[in-house]
Every structure is written in C-alpha cells, then in structure tokens.
Structure 1
Amino acid sequence: MKDAQALDLKPGQSTELLKELHILTREGRINQDSRRKLKQVTHLYQFIEKLLVELPESPSGPTLADHGAGKSYLGFLLYDLYFRPRGTGHIYGIETRAELVERSRALAQRLGFERMSFLHLSAADAAGSSELPERIDVVTALHACDTATDDAIAFGLRKQARCMVLVPCCQAEVAACLRQTKALALARTPLSELWRHPLHTREMGSQLTNVLRCLYLEAMGYQVTVTELVGWEHSMKNELILARATAQRKRSAAERLRALLAEFGLQALEAERFPGLPQSAV
C-alpha cells in the first residue's frame, strides 16, 4: 500500500473508492496518468469545499450538479470527502454517455452512496428536467467541451446557483466565428493580427470565449475569480472560473461584453450565448 500512502490521502478517504475508479490498483498502486487525474480532481475539490462551507445552513444540505460528469471522479470524491461524513446534501451527475451513467449508478449503489443521482442528459436539457430540483446550490463543469460550458452556465443561471465552478475545454465556437470574418477584420483593425494565423485564431478564440463568459457571469450577478487549477505540466486545459452569486447585476459588465462582441464581429452570439444580458442603457 506504499503508493496509496504516498498519495497523502485525507483522513477517512476511501481507498476502496479509488480502486473502483481505477485510480488505484487492487494492490494499492497508482500509475502516472492516474496520479495526474487525481491531483486535478483533488485540487478542484479544495476550491469547491470552501464554497460549500460558505453556503447557508439547510436541513437537507447542499445540492450540487456536476455537468459532463464522465466517470464521475469529481462527484464521487466530493461525496466521499464532504457529503458522506455530514450525512446531508445531494449530488447530481449529468452525463450524455449512457454507459457511463449506468456505471456510476451501479458504483454508487455498491458503495452505499445513496444521495447521488446520475442522469442521462445534456447540460442544455438538464435545465428543464423534472429529475432535478428547482434550485441547485453549486454547479460544476470540469473540462466540459466547447459550448457545454455555456450550457452549464445557462443551467446555473436558471437554477439560481449560489456558486459555479468551471474548467472550460476545447472552445471552438468563437474561433470559428473569427475565421469567418477574418478577411473583413484584417481590413478593419490591426487587432485582427492577433488571430491572422490559424494557431492564433484557435488560442485567441479560446481566450476570448472565457473573457466573455466571465463578463456574462458578472452581468448576471456573480463575483468572478479566474485562476489556475493545477500546474501547466499536469493539464493544458487549466483555467478555473469561480463564480459566487451576489445581489447585484453589473450593467457595466454587460456593456463591456457587448463592446467586445462588436469589436470582434461576434454580435450574432449575443442572442444564443448571452440571452439574459440586461438591456442596453438608452
């Protein structure tokens, strides 16, 4: 069990769960890929734990929806370390691949994790699903690809989430829009040199996507912090967006978002991606 001990597990953490998730072998050993995965998820847990502790007390405990759950590493770890010891709260894992949903359901039943539900839904469909409560306290999306992160944000807004924890991945939509308008942009502004080359288009699109998301969250009444999840040597998809609900929407953030859309020729995205923006000041 030397490898398991070297992982510096938290008190009470289940090594049986780590074996079921194939992070540890039956002998308690771990390979380098699993070590990186566990490091990412454990580090993200530390951010989420702080948010959960800040939530108002409630008899039923906190609710958390994990979008793009995959094999539900994050959900199971959260349940094992936070929800299980407290005996309250519920985690909803939302995933589009039916085989992963069934596998997670079976594992939760085997481990006695009764307050976990796994739903075969997209993030977009989950917002209107009767299988979820009207309000969700915390929304997470770890490496949700492309517009799935936007769908998770829309879900969080509809569910009046107190907190959102997002690690975006593979943003392609804005880059595609930049490519479509590249010829016009090159003639209009020297800023378009930032995305003249295909590699720069992809990276610029990714960066701009997350900037727009942060402004949207601020415009919709969230305080936003952006930081790194782990060291870049562990993952290239490393941007962590933390959003806490406040009582105040920021009209200035909405105005800056619209200005950026106009500057980059992306006005068509507003209706689909940012439908809740406050109206422009007359």
Structure 2
Amino acid sequence: MKDGAMKDSAMKDGATQLDLRPGQSTELLKELHILTREGRINQDSRRKLKQVLHLYQFIEKLLAQLPQAPEGPTLADHGAGKSYLGFILYDLYFKDLGAGRIYGIETRAELVERSQALAARLGFERMSFLNVSAADASGLDTLPQRFDVVTALHACDTATDDAIAFGLRKQAQHMVLVPCCQAEVAACLRRDKALSLSRTPLAELWRHPLHTRELGSQLTNVLRCLYLEARGYQVTVTELVGWEHSLKNELILATHTGHRKRAASDRLRSLLAEFGLQGLEPLRYPDL
C-alpha cells in the first residue's frame, strides 16, 4: 500500500474509532492533538474527546432551545484551557449556523495565544479568547451585556463559583458546569474541625482528612445548586460520562426560569450554619 493510501486508511480508522459526527473536522482534531498526523488516537485523547462530545450533546440541545435571533447565540467558556470544548462547539454547531460567537476565558496567556492562532488558521472568525479570570471577566466592557450560555468544564476550585457569578450577572439563560478540585469549603471545615467536633456529632463526617476533602466537594456542589435555585434557575444534576473516563464527573445544568425559590435560600443558610460556613455567604452567595 502506498504512503498516501496508508495515511488515508489510518485517518478512516481513527474516525471510526472516535465515532465522529458527519462533517466533523479531522484537521481540527489533529490541531488539538487528539489525532496524530497519521490519524491515530491514544487512550487519554479518547477519554478527553468522549467527555467533550458528551458535553456537546447537552449544550447542543440548550442552544437549539434559544429564541432565534439574527446575531445568533453568545456562549462564554470559562477555564477554557486549550479550548477543546469551544473549538468543537464551533466546528459542530456555530460554523454551519453562520452566526453567534464563542468567548474562551482563560488565565494562562500562552493557551490564549495558542487558541487565537488556531482559530485564525481554521477560519473560526467568531471565536474570541480573553486572558482574564472568570472573576474579572464580568466587569469587562468588551464583553456583551448578556450571554445565552455559560460553560465551565473542570474550572478548578472557586473558578466554578466565579463562572456562576458571571452567568448571574450576564443573565445567562443556561449554565453548564462540571466542577473540579473544590477546596474552599474543605479548607473551612479543616480549619474549624476541633470546634465542630465538640459542637456536633455531624463533624465525624469530616474528622479524617480524606473525608474532609470528599465532604467538602459534595457540600460545595450542593450549595451551588441551592444558590442557583434561589436565584431563579431550574437545576439538574447528573453524570457527565462513565466513571471509567473521569473522576471529575458531576454535571450541573441550570436553566433560568425567573422563579426564585425562597426555600432554597433558607436551606442554603441552614447548611452554612450547620457546618460553620456562614463566612462564605457574602463571598459566594450574595443576594439570596
């Protein structure tokens, strides 16, 4: 078999293994180093792409539900990293739509520059990348006043909270969040552990360091969901993919209804009091 034919065969094999969608750009996947130049894929890339494509299925449905507008939808992707999610969203949805814009928000300048260059090479002219934190992004005059969709895939620790605050300020219709490395609540639990152990038997749930980390992560996401409900969102929590693909697997989907739930506010405050976390309310859960 000639070299050209062998490369074509390898590309077809790679596409088959990945179960790509019709029209999906293999050139993009090579640029993202998901596929090699010969069209092959390794197991780590397969897991990463499976997560992103699975998340895309959720986001595609939300985008389709938005009211049609000439300017198209606006989407902010927080903690964009190498912008796997943003590029695949553009390739599979925004490109053929001919409207709309994706903003990738990332604190690492080298990744922002790389994404800008890749978008230019591929002709993805309605993608923008900003070297800024999620916390600072909402105050930028260069960004739209409103966003239709806000995403945060594995935005570490409090960056997910900052993405939520951004979505609330920008009146996002939908938020799609896959939290990662939640450490803030665990640190608070750890700091006040001695007092809590003397105050309530519930403190046994976080007496051991491993349990502190796990409970802190669980409690963080519960508080986030209650806050979103208190601020007028309907919330669904599910798995992103099977646990064999990622341990950072919780997917929080929030859709704005405008119906603020008083009960959610009350429960959030009760949980903060029960676990000695009242100091987090003005920082993470303002305007309850």
User: 1:254 aligned to 256, 265, 286, which one?
Assistant: 265
> Could you say what secondary structure the match of 1:28 adopts?
coil
The equivalent of 1:190 in structure 2 is 201
1:11 aligns with 2:17: no
1:266 aligns with 2:268: no
Identity value in percent = 82
1:45 aligns with 2:59: no
Q: Is the 8 A contact 1:83 1:89 kept in 2?
A: yes
CA deviation map 1:169-198 (0-9, x unaligned): 000000010011111111111111100000
1:88 aligns with 2:93: no
| Unaligned ranges ≥5, structure 2 | 1-10
Using the size of structure 1 for normalisation, the TM-score is 0.97
User: 2:83 aligned to 72, 79, 95, which one?
Assistant: 72
Equivalents in 2 of 1:197, 1:6: separation in Å?
43
| Unaligned ranges ≥5, structure 1 | 278-282
Equivalents in 2 of 1:235, 1:95: separation in Å?
22
CA deviation map 1:85-131 (0-9, x unaligned): 11111000000000000000000000000100000100001000112
The equivalent of 1:280 in structure 2 is none
Equivalents in 1 of 2:258, 2:233: separation in Å?
8
Q: Is the 8 A contact 1:224 1:242 kept in 2?
A: yes
1:171 aligns with 2:147: no
Amino acid in the other structure paired with 2:24: Q
1:6 Cα offset (Å): 1.8
Q: How many residues align?
A: 277
1:3 Cα offset (Å): 1.7
Please give the residue correspondences for 1:67-216 in structure 2 after superposition, counting only pairs within 5 Å. 67-216=78-227
Q: Is the 8 A contact 1:4 1:30 kept in 2?
A: no
Equivalents in 2 of 1:182, 1:20: separation in Å?
48
The equivalent of 1:226 in structure 2 is 237
The equivalent of 2:44 in structure 1 is 33
The equivalent of 1:245 in structure 2 is 256
User: 1:63 aligned to 64, 74, 98, which one?
Assistant: 74
1:4 Cα offset (Å): 2.0
CA deviation map 1:131-175 (0-9, x unaligned): 210001000000000000000000000000000000000000000
1:29 Cα offset (Å): 0.5
> Could you say what secondary structure the match of 1:161 adopts?
coil
Equivalents in 1 of 2:244, 2:169: separation in Å?
36
Q: Structure 1 stretches (4+) deviating beyond 3 angstroms?
A: none
> Could you say what secondary structure the match of 1:268 adopts?
helix
Amino acid in the other structure paired with 1:149: T
Equivalents in 1 of 2:247, 2:177: separation in Å?
15
Equivalents in 2 of 1:119, 1:274: separation in Å?
26
Equivalents in 1 of 2:63, 2:188: separation in Å?
37
The equivalent of 1:275 in structure 2 is 286
